[in-house]
Structure formats: structure tokens, C-alpha cells
């Protein structure tokens, strides 16, 4: 089993975020502050259910994207963590111009003709997404805001659910098909909104990129019951 060097970020609300770099933001769900972060060797595990065309890869996002062949997916659901889109936005508002574009380049590369990416992002990284999309000569449709609701974490001092506003974007190359054809391949970039993606799976093949070991176990357990 191979291992990956991954940054694990711990918040005082009990949540954990995995990424290639330390997080400098608060917890998206509960507003908790960073209390510790460290490098950890995360095993690069894989899980599959061939009968239902379900696959889950564990590992850092960029490491997994580099392994995917060109023009593989007709639909990509992207609900990425903030640190995948340039956390320096919070320290220097102009930093979105210099954010690493490797993730977006890979998404463009693996998208089939007629395919599209459904981005759900925090308003703070909207500039990053739109700028990178325009640099790569892709097209973008803004679908408006989504109110994302979360239940209170067991380790949180909050006794109620919280909500967070997100922006919904549709990104594609020259054109896009409205609905992926049956038998197409679907990519879930994080697995954070798995129920949303499963509603659109139908007879398509699904690959989920889950980073943290806890998240990998949670996603695979959910798919085993699907």
C-alpha cells in the first residue's frame, strides 16, 4: 500500500480538513479556529463495487487527478475544500490571480466534449474560479446562490444547525449537454455532498475522490448501502 504526505488541519470545534497545505481559514460548518496541523502519511487506498460501477479513491486531490486519463468524465461535481482554491485570498485579496491552477487544468483535461463541471463554492473563492476558467478559455454560467445547511456537530458548543451561502457555477468547454448520457462517467471531487451526486448517478459510472481516511470510510460505508 502506497502512502501520501498530506496536511491534516484540526479545528477547535472537532472538525478535520485534509489538504496539500495548512489551512488558514475557520471551519466552514461551525466557525471553529485552527488549533493544530501536521503532515501525515495517508495510505492511498481504493474501494470499488464493480456491479454498480462505484469507485472511491483516497489520497490528496491533485495526486488523484494526475492519475486520470484525458476526456474521461461527462459530469464533475466540484464541492472542493477552500484550501484547494487558494486560501491566501483571506490574507491578500489580490492573491486569487496567483492561485495554483493545476486543479482547474486537470478538470479541463479530463472533461469529455459536451461535459460540464458543477461548482459549488464559497463566495470568498469566486474570483479564483472565474479567473482560472477565463484563463483556460472555458465558459461559465452563474446559477445563483445556494443556502447550505449543516447539523450541529456533536463536539460543537452550538445546539442548533447552521447555514452557509454558496455560489453555484456551471463550467464547460465549447458546449455542454444538459444531462449526461446513460453509461457516462461521473466524478465527485470530494464526496462531501454524496447524496446530491447519487441522485444523478442513475446508470452512470461514479468515481469519488475522498481525501482523509475518516472521510474515505464514511463514503465507502454510504456507497455500500446505496
Gap between the Cα atoms of 116 and 46, Å rounded? 25
| Phi, psi (deg, nearest 5) at residue 158 | -80, 135
Has residue 23 been placed in a domain?
A: no
- Segments in 126-193 forming alpha helices (H): 126-135
pLDDT for 93 beyond 60: no
**Among candidate residues 125, 119, 129, the one with its CA nearest the CA of residue 187:** 119
Has residue 193 been placed in a domain?
A: yes
Q: pTM here? A: 0.76
Tell how many helices (H) and how many strands (E) occur in the chain. Answer: 5, 11
Q: What is the CATH number of the domain that holds 139?
A: 3.40.50.150
Q: With cut-offs at 50, 70 and 90, classify the pLDDT of residue 172.
A: very high
pLDDT tens per residue across span 117-153: 999 888 877 888 888 899 999 999 988 787 766 555 4
Determine the pLDDT at residue 118: 92
Radius of gyration of the chain (CA): 17
Look up the domain containing 102 and give its range: 45-224
Q: With cut-offs at 50, 70 and 90, classify the pLDDT of residue 88.
A: very low
Has residue 40 been placed in a domain?
A: no
Count of domains for the chain: 1
Has residue 88 been placed in a domain?
A: yes
Has residue 5 been placed in a domain?
A: no
Has residue 194 been placed in a domain?
A: yes
Has residue 103 been placed in a domain?
A: yes
Has residue 148 been placed in a domain?
A: yes
Amino acid at each position: 500500500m502506497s502512502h501520501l504526505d498530506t496536511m491534516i488541519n484540526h479545528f477547535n470545534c472537532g472538525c478535520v480538513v485534509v489538504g496539500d497545505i495548512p489551512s488558514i481559514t475557520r471551519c466552514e460548518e461551525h466557525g471553529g479556529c485552527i488549533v493544530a496541523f501536521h503532515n501525515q502519511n495517508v495510505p492511498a487506498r481504493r474501494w470499488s463495487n464493480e456491479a454498480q460501477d462505484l469507485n472511491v479513491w483516497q489520497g490528496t486531490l491533485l495526486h488523484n487527478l494526475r492519475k486520470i486519463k484525458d476526456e474521461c468524465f461527462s459530469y464533475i461535481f466540484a464541492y472542493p475544500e477552500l484550501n484547494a482554491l487558494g486560501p491566501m485570498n483571506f490574507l491578500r485579496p489580490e492573491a486569487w490571480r496567483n492561485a495554483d491552477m493545476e486543479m482547474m487544468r486537470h478538470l479541463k483535461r479530463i472533461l469529455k466534449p459536451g461535459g460540464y463541471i458543477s461548482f459549488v463554492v464559497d463566495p470568498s473563492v469566486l474570483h479564483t474560479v472565474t479567473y482560472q476558467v477565463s484563463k483556460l478559455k472555458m465558459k461559465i454560467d452563474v446559477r445563483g446562490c445556494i443556502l447550505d445547511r449543516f447539523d450541529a456537530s456533536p463536539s460543537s458548543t452550538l445546539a442548533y444547525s447552521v447555514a452557509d451561502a454558496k455560489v453555484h457555477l456551471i463550467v464547460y468547454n465549447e458546449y455542454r449537454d444538459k444531462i449526461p448520457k446513460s453509461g457516462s462517467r461521473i466524478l465527485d471531487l470530494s464526496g462531501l455532498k454524496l447524496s446530491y451526486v447519487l441522485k444523478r448517478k442513475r446508470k452512470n459510472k461514479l468515481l469519488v475522490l475522498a481525501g482523509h481516511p475518516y472521510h474515505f470510510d464514511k463514503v465507502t460505508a454510504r456507497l455500500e448501502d446505496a
